[in-house]
Amino acid sequence: MVRYIYNHQNDDGGWGFHVESQSIMLCTALNYVSLRLLGEEPEGGKDGAAVKARKWILDHGGVTMISTWGKCFLSLIGLYEWSGCNPVPPECLLLPSFLPFNTGNLWCYYRTVYIPLAYLYGKKFVAPITDLVISLREELYIEPYGEVDWTTARNSCLKKDLYTPHSLTETVLSSVLYYLVEPLSTLWPFSKLREKALARAMRLIRYEDEHTGYLTHAAVEKSLNMIANWAEDPTQDALKRHQATVPESLWVAEDGMKVLNLGSQLWDSVFVTQAIIASNLTDEYGSTLRKAFNFIKLSQIRKNPSGDFQSTYHNFCKGAWTLSVKDQGWQVSDCTAEALKVYSCYHRCQQTLLATQLNWINSYMKQWISFLPCRAKMVGFQLGSQQHHHNGWRC
């Protein structure tokens, strides 16, 4: 990991959002902190790489100029204060479903990040303060840590990091939450509402963990869910199961170890399979296609989520496919459509492949058809189940 971080450091000492991006405070600060947590010294790195990174941070105003994502992540490890963050209230989880701010109406990626982050914000969780954290507080700020004006820092953001300026509505709403709602949440009876919201958030986190085999929706969500489990009880089995699946996201390349945010095994497999069939290379790749068909077969979701899954913002998914592997559990409409397309392509090469490779589909197709209220009997099943009232689709 250290090698990967150093390999993608920009000439000015910072890091960008991607390997070709200009340096921004979010990535520079988080990469610098990561290097220090991984054992690098303040003067470490080839040709003073750590010194250059720290100089870039301080020359651009220190970490108070980091964007909201960074403020929250640094708060978790004690390098920033929650009072310097715009509120992420968990009480939104208690809103009625007919309101636009209800969590179930959010895009799935936004929702699965919001829930654990709201839990951690609601608890104001901070990891134990160590000597390394105290040292980093001295390295990352242009003024003593104890003298930082966190109220002002709440809306501070380096221009390079500001992808979209805050709207007036967003600014007013954040201020109302910050100055009115948050202080009230510590007082009875509003504190009881906060406790109920935190309990709801943890229930959703646990359900998501179990439904996805602790792979979760993606790597960012996984890290937040792990920290939320640690914040609740560092000895619980859920945290151990999370740790066991961490290697699923790690891979080593020529530039070092990196993290795969979201797997796409099924997505890649169906397109490669279609390409081989469309290129009339079934004779040359017969063995490969048989293995691909078997993988696609094993990747189909065979049962719906357990219990009252709709109350946890999940949908019925039996018979669908995910973007990655079956255990991940999140059905995707276009992945399902492409997997079905492979089935139709199969008939073009059945002379060279054993027809028994896809017998598994028949029993599940019957179950799919039984759900359909319209004539679009295959792909329409999955698309219809995910369609919003405004005619859009969700994951």
Q: Which residues are catalytic?
A: 334
3-state DSSP assignment of residue 23: strand
Do 185 and 176 touch, CB atoms closer than 8 A?
no
- Residue 322's Cβ-side half-sphere holds a number of Cα atoms within 13 Å equal to 25
Of the candidates 41, 260, 230, 64, the residue with the CA atom closest to the CA atom of residue 147? 64
Of the candidates 100, 114, 95, 94, the residue with the CA atom closest to the CA atom of residue 388? 100
Do 207 and 112 touch, CB atoms closer than 8 A?
no
φ, ψ of residue 379 in degrees (nearest 5): -65, -35
18-57 burial: b if 16+ Cβ within 10 Å, else e: eeeeebbbbbbbbbbbebbeeebeeebbeeebbebbbebb
Six token digits for residue 55: 């100089």
Six token digits for residue 365: 């197709």
Six token digits for residue 315: 């949908």
3-state DSSP assignment of residue 155: coil
Cα end-to-end distance, the chain, whole Å: 31
Tokens 């009115």 found at: 180
- DSSP single-letter state for residue 166: P
Bridge partners, 257 (sequence order):
252
Six token digits for residue 93: 């989880």
d(CA 264, CA 394): 18
- Residue 386's Cβ-side half-sphere holds a number of Cα atoms within 13 Å equal to 19
249-268 burial: b if 16+ Cβ within 10 Å, else e: beeeeeeeeeeeebbeebbe
Bridge partners, 393 (sequence order):
387
Q: What is the dihedral of CA 39, 40, 46, 47, to 10 degrees?
A: -170
Of the candidates 226, 204, 203, the residue with the CA atom closest to the CA atom of residue 215? 226
